[in-house]
Homo-oligomer: A and B are copies of this chain.
Amino acid sequence: MGLPNVGIISPGDMGSAIGRVLRGHDLKILTCLDGRSELTRLRAQEVGFSEVPSCDELVTEADLLLSVVVPAEAASVAKLVAGSLRRTGTICVYVDCNAISPQTVTENARVITEAGSPFIDAGIIGPPPSDRGNTRFYCSGPDCSALETLGEFGLDIRLVGPLVGQASGLKMVYAASTKGTTALWTELLVASKVLGLNEALTHEFSLSRADISQRLMEGIPSMPRRSRRWVGEMEEIAATFEGLGLTPLMLQGAAAVFRLVGETNLGDQTSRQADPSLDVVLNTLTKHLQK
């Protein structure tokens, strides 16, 4: 086989960064921009995506198709693609890269494999990738070789195991450790601010938890611009935990914290702007609560 053509739905922050890495290694990258904003279209052109007019042509031209969307769209993208696979009679390896529960990804796998194409579960850990290599693509499933090939084209691909659900499960527990912790600390720092106890709490932290509190608070300023899409991700983690007999409440609470942040103008932040300071984040949330 020659160089694989890689389709990506859709070229958002993460999807376009993946496209940029692959394009930089001379792969043809494809996407379908039907119904997408002018900004997304411009960015896709800038990155070097070849645009195709429909999902039917995307599955026909691509050897691999990466689904990189917000968790709430993951199931409908799988169904859309399954429809195109059936209509065109094509085989295209589907890679579900979304932050979804093992249950959700297992259902997506059923939808795709029933339409006759191979399915790979993938979980992305790290920022939108670059050639600096601090983003890992964990994958699992009976045959992940098509995705592993992309390891030769700038991506860091790591096999977790033979079962669909393992890579997504890893993404879920890891995201609980980072984003869940950020949600908890955001909430308690806002509570402390509303109660007028910030100075006392900061002083107590300096006595008993200097290093760790500093590190955990550092994670807060980059959260607002991602808060709205993290709501769905926290709900997927809650479902993951509930499916194992563990409480979903902590992660449902994390979803509520990010929903609150997303209700303020903090949620309008984009990755092209400088992140707000911790003080600005806490002050904005405090004022929002006191409205």
What is the interface of chain A, defined by CB distance below 8 A to chain B?
A: 102, 125-126, 134, 136, 138, 160-161, 165-166, 169-170, 172-174, 176-178, 180-181, 183-185, 187-192, 194-197, 200-201, 204-205, 207-209, 211-213, 215-216, 240-241, 244-254, 256-257, 260, 289
Contact = CB atoms under 8 A, between A and B. Distances in A.
Given A165-B195, A174-B204, 15 more contacts: A169-B192, A172-B191, A173-B188, A173-B197, A174-B201, A177-B209, A181-B181, A212-B212, A249-B250, A249-B252, A249-B256, A250-B250, A250-B256, A251-B253, A252-B253
A244 B194 CA distance: 8
A166 B250 contact: no
Contact of A138 (B200, B246, B251): B200
Given A173-B192, A247-B260, A184 B187 contact: no
Nearest to A248: B253
B289 A250 contact: no
A249 B255 CA distance: 10
Contacts of A215: 211-212
Contacts of A245: 289
Total copies of the chain: 2
10 closest A-B pairs (Cβ-Cβ)?
A249-B253, A250-B253, A247-B256, A176-B188, A169-B195, A173-B192, A245-B289, A173-B188, A247-B253, A249-B249
A187 B169 CA distance: 13
A250 B187 contact: yes
Contacts of A244: 190-191, 194-195, 289
Contacts of A204: 125, 136, 138, 170, 174
A241 B173 contact: no
A247 B250 CA distance: 10
Nearest to A219: B212
Contact of A241 (B138, B187, B213, B246): B187
A244 to B, nearest CB: 5
B250 A257 contact: yes
Contacts of A192: 169-170, 173
Residue among A187, A240, A251 facing the most chain B CB atoms (10 A cut-off): A187
A233 B249 CA distance: 16
A212 B138 CA distance: 22
Given A253-B248, A254-B250, A188 B180 contact: yes
B166 A197 contact: yes
A190 to B, nearest CB: 7
A184 B125 contact: no
